[in-house]
Amino acid sequence: MSKPSRGEIPGLAAVPLYEQVKRHISELILLGEWLPGTVLPSETELARRFGVAVGTARRALADLTAEGLLMRRRKTGTVVTGRSPHHSLRFFFQYFRLHGLDGSLMNSSVEIKKAERRLADASEAERLALNPQDPIIRVERVRTVGGRAVMHDVMVLPAEQVPDLKIDDIPDRLYLYLLEEYGIRVSAVRESLGAELATVEDCRLIDVAMPGAILVIDEVAFEQTGAPVIWAIHRAVTDKYRYLNEVS
């Protein structure tokens, strides 16, 4: 990992420094670069690596220890635990929503199929607490794991909250984009899960054949004021994957 310039980790300028360090350490753990049992570098070395003060690195480690990703051992140092809360609210929107049958994190790629600005229809206005005909951004995308299309999403958000978002340059992680670019922090999410038979549209977009089963996740994400910021519907195959929900 290259060393960031001091005082700022690229792409996260709006986020407190200790939170930036937490995210980078978390990614190293969750993506398997730092396996359970790994002894982390010292606070001084981590501070140098991330270009922050030692106190900033210390606070990041303390938070991750409290959250269960790390533990302190006398005479050893800070060690990666075997418990990774993939779906705490802090990780909820940073990583792929499906996991392997053994609970392992799946590395996925995202392909945007369609993105448009238009006026909200009745259901979109109701879910996002908008007035009918308020402008929205609607994104359709497909997630692929190991060359297999396994999930397709429809995500809708009020256009006025992301005035600079370019339709031809939609970020993969919309929730992080809201935080990093606009300071909009998701504080709660309401999900409704169900099972349905695959539709013709499912078969066109992801690797499923009729009458295969589809997991449907209907979710609304809320910011700290209680206002809804994104309504999303995810439709996924589950023959080799599971939806893991561990909120802590």
The mean pLDDT of 26-55, rounded to a whole number, is 88
Interatomic CA distance for residues 188 and 39, integer angstroms: 33
Average pLDDT over residues 195-221: 95
21-30, 65-74, 138-147, 186-195 — most confident range: 138-147
pLDDT attached to residue 66 = 83
Convert the pLDDT of each residue in 83-98 to its tens digit.
655 545 555 555 566 7
| pTM confidence score | 0.69
| Cα dihedral value 200, 202, 206, 212, nearest 10 | -90
Tokens found for residue 126: 């109701």
pLDDT at residue 9, as a whole number: 46
Helix (H) or strand (E) holding 21: helix 17-30
CA 64 to the chain's CA centroid: 17
Break the chain down into helix, strand, coil percent, rounded to 5. Answer: 25, 35, 40
The pLDDT score that the predictor gives to residue 23 is: 81
Q: In this predicted structure, what is the pLDDT of residue 61?
A: 93
Q: Where residue 142 falls among pLDDT bands split at 50, 70, 90?
A: very high
Percent of the chain scoring above 90 in pLDDT? 48
Mean pLDDT to the nearest integer, 101-108: 77
Average predicted confidence (pLDDT) for the chain: 84
Q: Give the pLDDT of residue 160.
A: 93
Please tell me the predicted confidence (pLDDT) of residue 5. Answer: 41
